[in-house]
Each structure stands twice: as C-alpha cells, then as structure tokens.
Amino acid sequence: MSETLPVFEVLPRDLSAYRKGNAGVDYVHRFESGRPGPHVLVNGLTHGNEFCGMSAVTHLLDTGVRPLCGTLTVSLANVAAYESFDAQRPFDSRQLVHNLNRIWSPEWLDGPQDSPELARARELRPVVAAADHVLDLHSTNADVVPFWVYPQYERNGSAALAMGRPSVHFVMPNGLGSGTPLIQYGTFGDPAGTGVGLVAECGQHFSRAASDLAIAVARDFLAHFGLMARDEAVPVQPQRRFELLQTWVIKTPEFRLVRPLQGFEVFAKGELIATDGAEEIRAPCDDCTILMPARRAIVGREGVYLSRPM
C-alpha cells in the first residue's frame, strides 16, 4: 500500500540567490554591528526536508535584520539534500548519505569517511566554532506540539525558559545517544562551557505553522541576546520538561511499533512499546513518554526516544 502524502503548505523555493555569502562559506551570511556583544548563529536546513529553518533564515535575510550589538550569522546547512526534494517522496530528502545532525564529533569530522554531509559539516565547522550561541531550527514528521531539545546544562534551560516558546523541553542529560548533534559541537557540548546551544523542533515539516514558529523563535533568540528588540511579550504558558532516558537505534528491518504512534504517547513501566527483531523495547518507568517514533524501519536510524517527565 502506498504511503499517504502529507499536505504541503510550504514547499521548497530557489535558494540560489543566497548562495554567495560573506563569510567564505556558501549559504553563510554574517553581519557585524560594530558594538560589543555576543556572536549568535541561527542555522536552518540541517535536514533537507525541514523547511521551517529555510523560512526563518530567509526571513532574517529578506527583511534585512541587522544586529543592534555583537554579530549575527545565519546559515543554510544541507542545501544539497534540500535540492533533492521530491513531493512524491517528501521524507527522503532529510539527508543524502549521513545525518548532518549526528556527525559533529572529532571521530566523524576528522575521520576517513566522506559524504556530502561530512563535506558540508567540515565547511561549517569554523562557522559553528566562531559563534557564542547557536539556534538550530528543525521540524518533525508528525504534527505534534513543538519542543526544545538541548543538553541538560543550566545555561540552555535558562535561555529556553526565558524565551517561553516552545513550552515543551526535551532535555538530554547524557547526550543524544546516537551521535553528536550540531548543538553539542566543541564547547557547546562542554558542561563548563558558556555557549547556549538549542534545537527548536517547530512542528510538522511542511506546515505553515512550523515556519511561522521558526521565524518567531529565531527572532526571540536574537532578542534574548540583545541583537534585536523583542517583537512582543510571549504569553506565559506552563512549561513541561522531559528527560531523555534512552535512544533506541534500529537494529533490524523488522523494527515495529506496537501501534501507530505520533509522539508524546505515555506508557506504564514494563509496557511494550516496540519490537526490533527478537528484542523488545519496553517502558523503563511509569509515565514513560515517547518522542519522535520512526515512520519506517531503517537500520542505523533512531526508532524511538524514551523519556520521562521532569
């Protein structure tokens, strides 16, 4: 049976006009205020089919946002994957070979392997290293509530709480468990570091709401660090936090969830969540909340994230 295609409220646009930046790397644009302040990086398209980051970065460029202090850098990461988008296979353009959000470690960046994503990460390496704070904009397969993702450092939690949206936080006490994401590159992954590194998962890949939220969050992030004036007061919302317990990486083509899952479903301790060949994935605690369940079984990719409310 063929897969039902999602509704496309946002589709790719031609990004060739943004290719030539001013930082020595394609699709990277840097603006210096001439005044003291932090260097803030806003990045989109780490995954090629996550259009909200494209919407936010091009918004900042198209509307001429310039920092009131410090330095603003904006980047479009995996444009090669983005340009491979096919509306009949809309999830395939997430990556060409490697997941660009799992290879930000010396083992990968300095290793012998090559791919379009590794080449791009190596190009972007000095761009990320130069930033004091980084916002990486993402979206999700399913239409679930937007949420932050960040290492469990006080500096990250404080910044996310201060911005107020999204109101859900997915906190990683010991890393992602399936590779090194961009927001943990270098000093961003150091408990003693000072740089804030946040992922904002803004909603379903192709929804207008995800792009609108990504634009708002990017502007919030810049305002938080003083690079622009705050647009508006964000209504105070109850904040919910979840702690990552385990990342299950798919081992066999027989990986199966017990039922269709979108994310944020809750399981009791010991309840079966999925099987992977002969192995069972069961909830390690009561109120076990799952995030980002896989759409299909691809060996080596994440099958499901297990978390608990904090």
What pLDDT digit, counting tens, does each position of 182-230 carry? 999 999 999 999 999 999 999 999 999 999 999 999 999 999 999 999 9
| CA distance linking residue 52 with residue 61, whole number of Å | 14
Give the percent of the chain with pLDDT over 90. 95
Helix (H) or strand (E) run with residue 136 in it: strand 133-140
What pLDDT digit, counting tens, does each position of 76-125 carry? 999 999 999 999 999 999 999 999 999 999 999 999 999 999 999 999 99
- The whole-number pLDDT of residue 100 equals 98
Respond yes or no on whether the N-terminal peptide bond of residue 151 is cis (omega within 30° of 0).
Answer: no
Structure-token match 């002969």, residue found: 278
Using only C-alpha atoms, the chain has a radius of gyration, in whole angstroms, of 19
Tokens of residue 55, six digits: 């919407």
State how far the alpha carbon of 112 is from the alpha carbons of 52, 109, 119, in Å: 32, 9, 11
Indicate the angle between helix axes 51-62 and 208-224, nearest 10 degrees. 50
Pairing of strands 240-249, 168-172: parallel
- The whole-number pLDDT of residue 31 equals 98
Tell which phi-psi region holds residue 296, choosing left (phi > 0), alpha (psi between -120 and 50) or beta: beta
pTM: 0.96
Name 71's bridge partners: 32, 39
Q: Whole-number mean pLDDT of the chain?
A: 96
| CA distance linking residue 26 with residue 120, whole number of Å | 10
Mean predicted confidence (pLDDT) in 7-34:
97
CB proximity list for 281: less than 8 A, separation 6 or greater: 248, 272, 273, 274, 275, 303, 304, 306
- The whole-number pLDDT of residue 3 equals 67
Query: Contact 306/285 with Cβ under 8 angstroms?
Result: no
- Which of 162, 163, 145 has its CA nearest to residue 242? 145
- The whole-number pLDDT of residue 242 equals 98
Instruction: Please check the confidence at residue 1 and state whether its pLDDT lies above 70.
Output: no
What pLDDT digit, counting tens, does each position of 238-255 carry? 999 999 999 999 999 999
| CA distance linking residue 237 with residue 84, whole number of Å | 38
- The whole-number pLDDT of residue 233 equals 79
Q: Which long-range contacts (CB under 8 A, 24 or more apart) does 206-210 make?
A: 206/6, 206/7, 206/8, 206/9, 206/10, 206/11, 206/51, 206/90, 207/7, 207/9, 207/10, 207/139, 207/143, 208/9, 208/10, 210/10, 210/51, 210/52, 210/139, 210/146
- The whole-number pLDDT of residue 154 equals 97
Coil/strand/helix, residue 172 = strand
Instruction: Please check the confidence at residue 2 and state whether its pLDDT lies above 70.
Output: no
Taken in order of first residue, the domains within the chain and their CATH numbers are: 16-224 (3.40.630.10), 242-309 (2.40.50.630)
What's the N-to-C CA distance of the chain in angstroms?
A: 40
Tokens of residue 40, six digits: 């803030």
Helix (H) or strand (E) run with residue 79 in it: helix 79-82
Q: How confident is the model at residue 277 (pLDDT cuts 50, 70, 90)?
A: very high
